[in-house]
Amino acid sequence: MARQRKKKGRPVSGWIILDKPLEMGSTEAVGKIKWLFGAQKAGHGGTLDPLATGVLPIALGEATKTMPYVTEGTKAYRFKVAWGAQTSTDDLEGEPVKTSDKRPERADVEAILDNYVGVISQIPPQFSAIKIDGARAYDLARGGEKVEIKAREVEIDEIKIITHTPDETVFEVECGKGTYVRSLARDMGEELGCYGHVTELRRTLVEPFDEADLVLLTDLEAAKPEAADGEPIDYDALDAMLLDTGEAMADLPRVDLSDDQAQRIRMGNPALLIGKDAPIAEDEACAFIKGKLLAIGEIGKGTFQPKRVFNL
């Protein structure tokens, strides 16, 4: 029988809501956080472009099991569009491909905003992470290949103007998974006849996390413990910056368990829910023991049936 390989790193769990710096990729950010915490496992809750800043939720350990609930959540962005040019990347990184001397009035921009609310059809940028025959669109585009990317439906809850000058407009948008803000800028510029591209982009929300939860990379780096010969590394200062794994489940119905109920769930068995306030039926819910997330499951016929159990 083959000996099981020991996992490298600490079995630390929780969420870091990183204020992602400009020009850092999401994968690079995950690697940096994993290294800082000496963690066994890490992942992010939704890609953020290198030229964007803001909310990048990074899950460590058991929190990676809750990542789907974050990636599916509502997102919000604040972004600036420069009018007068469309670029190959729909942002500052690319070269101008269309230009215009026309500039929109605020009323012109406001008049088209309703066209970008609700379920809309959107073509992702040429420089995007969309896969085309197994290859990323941005890799093909960087190789000089122009690819055909199919339009897809995305949902936008709200878009509004924050400030406006003839040369640029700052917007805020609240939207669903898969929305490309760069495509919004491109499409609005096309409709206005003046062209446009994103010059600044900041994500302010990835439900249930927002800017109030943000941690700076510089603060994390300052808290990294120094290794001393023969002494165990003290990660207390870093671990204090983690949000609990269960913070990702804020939008699901919650059940608080007794020790006996928790023991049944740890064994993979259903737990009977009692009391006048006990939920009767929920397609999806989460169960907590002493404030810690223990399981995700469903409630039916007065019992909680676990589907995914967490190691506490």
**pLDDT digits 0-9 by tens, 200-235:** 999 999 999 999 999 999 999 999 877 766 677 788
Nearest to 76 by CA among 165, 164, 171: 171
HEC profile of the chain:
CCCCCCCCCECCCEEEEEEECCCCCHHHHHHHHHHHHCECCEEECCCCCCCCEEEEEEEEHHHHHHHHHHHCCCEEEEEEEEECEEECCCECCCCEEEECCCCCCHHHHHHHHHHHCEEEEECCCCCCCCEECCEEHHHHHHCCCCCCCCCEEEEEEEEEEEEECCCEEEEEEEECCCCCHHHHHHHHHHHHCCCEEEEEEEEEEECCEEHHHCEEHHHHHHHCCCCCCCCCCCCHHHHCCCECHHHHHCCCCEEECCHHHHHHHHCCCCEECCCCCCCCCEEEEEEEECCEEEEEEEEECCEEEEEEECCC
The two domains 14-72+209-239 and 252-309 share their CATH topology (first three levels equal):
no
CA distance readout (Å), 58 to 17, 25, 53, 74, 85? 6, 13, 14, 16, 35
What backbone torsions phi and psi does residue 114 show, to the nearest 5 degrees?
-60, -20
Residue partners of 294: CB distance under 8 A and separation at least 6: 257, 262, 265, 266, 287, 288, 309, 310, 312
Structure tokens at 63: 């929190």
Distance (Å, whole) CA 295 – CA 57 = 21
Indicate the burial class of 1 (C-beta count within 10 angstroms; 0-12, 13-18, 19 or more): exposed
Residue 159: per-residue pLDDT: 98
Residue 257's pLDDT is 92
The pLDDT value recorded for residue 4 is 56
Give the per-residue pLDDT at 132: 53
Residue numbers in the chain where pLDDT is lower than 70: 1-6, 126-148, 228-230
Pick the CATH number of 252-309 from 3.40.640.10, 2.30.130.60, 2.60.120.260, 1.10.287.90: 2.30.130.60
CA angle 186, 187, 191 (to 5 degrees): 120
Token code pair at residue 149: 């990317």
Contact 288, 296 (CB under 8 A): no
CA distance 124 to 231: 51
Q: Pick 14-72+209-239's CATH classification: 3.20.10.10, 3.30.2350.10, 3.40.30.10, 3.40.50.720.
A: 3.30.2350.10
* Domains in the chain: boundaries: 14-72+209-239, 75-206, 252-309
Level-2 CATH architecture, domain 75-206: 2-Layer Sandwich (3.30)
**Residues with active-site annotation:** 49
Asked if 306 contacts 299 with a C-beta cutoff of 8 angstroms, the reply is no
pLDDT recorded at residue 49: 85
pLDDT digits (tens, 9 = 90+) for 129-166: 555 555 555 554 555 556 667 888 999 999 999 999 99
Which residue is associated with the tokens 């990048």? 56
pLDDT of residue 130: 58
Q: What is the pTM of this model?
A: 0.89
